[in-house]
Structure 1
Amino acid sequence: MPRPTTKNDLMIAAKENYEKLNLIISKMTEEELNTPFDFSKDEKKKEAHWKRDKNLRDILIHLYEWHKLILNWVHSNQNGEEKPFLPEPYNWKTYGDMNVEFWKKHQNTSLEEATDMFNKSHIAVLESAEKFTNEELFSKGVYKWTAGSTLGSYFVSATSSHYDWAMKKLKAHKKNCK
């Protein structure tokens, strides 16, 4: 499915990719769940996240923390408190450092807790997106706090696109376990 550009497509893609991700997770074997991620032998996997995340919990926490980012950002700006999407001191050049901080923060979070947090935050993000009209989500210039982008593009990034990222990572891990 191409990147959503309407509210309807956003909601469908978010729900479908969430279900696909959960299906992959439900089919993970004990070995796959208990083997730490290791992508060091694949030279194509150079991005920092290939080294950062070591297990399913780390992926779910990453998704959860990005859900929190959009929820907090939308809530603050809707209530008249102008805030950038990325919290201080981060920006789009340093957000990798923020992701590492998320990772560090949750090293004592259990997989069960991470799963629950992710599932609840997914629902909260969809409920938040549902409150906006198609025009509010996908017309540029509606909200000055979206910095020339559309609000919907942030919701797509925090849901369906991020779920695609998670599925690719889990599939690569499953392949490594064979």
Structure 2
Amino acid sequence: MGRAATKSDMITAATGNFEKLDMIISGLTEEELSTPFDFTADIKKKEAHWGRDKNLRDVLIHLYEWHQLLLNWVKSNKNGENKPFIPEPYNWKTYGNMNVEFWKKHQDTSLDDAKNMLKKSHAEVMELAETFSNEELFSKDIYKWVGGSTLGSYFVSATASHYDWAMKKLKAHKKRCSNM
């Protein structure tokens, strides 16, 4: 399926990818869980996140924190408080630094806590999505605070697309572990 463009497709994709991600996580061996992520040997993996995340907890916390961005952004703007999606002092050019701050913030968070936090935040995002109509999610210019995009595109990015990202990273880690 391509990128969701309707509420129904968005919910199906988010739910389906979350379940697939959960299955991958459930299938990780003790060795895979205890082996730090290391993608330095793969020259194709140049983006900062390949070096940032060292374990499953880091990936789950990244997803959780992006859920929080979405939840806080929608809540604030719906309550009349004009806030950008990316909080100050960051912006779309510097959000990589924000991701590093999320990483630093959660270095003492346990894997179990990260799993629970992600499950809860996923449920909250899905509940929030249900409160909007298809038109509110996927028509432009419904909410001025969304800018030139659609609200639904933010939901897709924070759920299905981000879950895809996480699954790719976990599969790459599994493959690296099996080749050790």
Alignment TM class, shorter chain as reference? over 0.9
Write the letter of the residue equivalent to 2:8. Answer: N
Q: Matched residue of 1:93: which SS?
A: coil
Indicate the residue corresponding to 2:56 in structure 1.
56
Once the two structures are superposed, residues 84-138 of structure 1 have per-residue CA deviations (whole angstroms, 9 ceiling, x without a partner) of: 0000000000000000000000000000000000000000000001100000000
Distance, in Å, in 2 between the alignment partners of 1:24 and 1:114 is 16
Distance, in Å, in 2 between the alignment partners of 1:90 and 1:139 is 27
Distance, in Å, in 1 between the alignment partners of 2:19 and 2:142 is 31
Aligned length: 178
Indicate the residue corresponding to 2:82 in structure 1.
82
Q: After TM superposition, where is structure 1 displaced by more than 6 Å over at least 4 residues in a row? A: none
**Residue 29 of structure 2 is aligned to residue 29 of structure 1:** yes
TM-score of the pair, normalised by structure 1 = 1.00
How many percent identity over aligned positions?
A: 74
Write the letter of the residue equivalent to 1:131. Answer: T
Indicate the residue corresponding to 2:6 in structure 1.
6
Once the two structures are superposed, residues 144-169 of structure 1 have per-residue CA deviations (whole angstroms, 9 ceiling, x without a partner) of: 10111000000000000000000000
Contiguous gaps of at least 5 residues in structure 1: none
Write the letter of the residue equivalent to 1:148. Answer: G
Distance, in Å, in 2 between the alignment partners of 1:61 and 1:108 is 11
Q: Matched residue of 1:177: which SS?
A: helix
Indicate the residue corresponding to 2:104 in structure 1.
104
Once the two structures are superposed, residues 38-93 of structure 1 have per-residue CA deviations (whole angstroms, 9 ceiling, x without a partner) of: 00000000000000000000000000000000000000000000100000000000
Distance, in Å, in 2 between the alignment partners of 1:91 and 1:103 is 17
Distance, in Å, in 1 between the alignment partners of 2:158 and 2:30 is 28
Indicate the residue corresponding to 2:115 in structure 1.
115
Write the letter of the residue equivalent to 1:5. Answer: A
TM-score of the pair, normalised by structure 2 = 0.99
Counterparts in 2 of 1:133-148, with a 5 A limit?
Answer: 133-148=133-148
Write the letter of the residue equivalent to 2:6. Answer: T
Alignment RMSD (CA, Å): 0.3
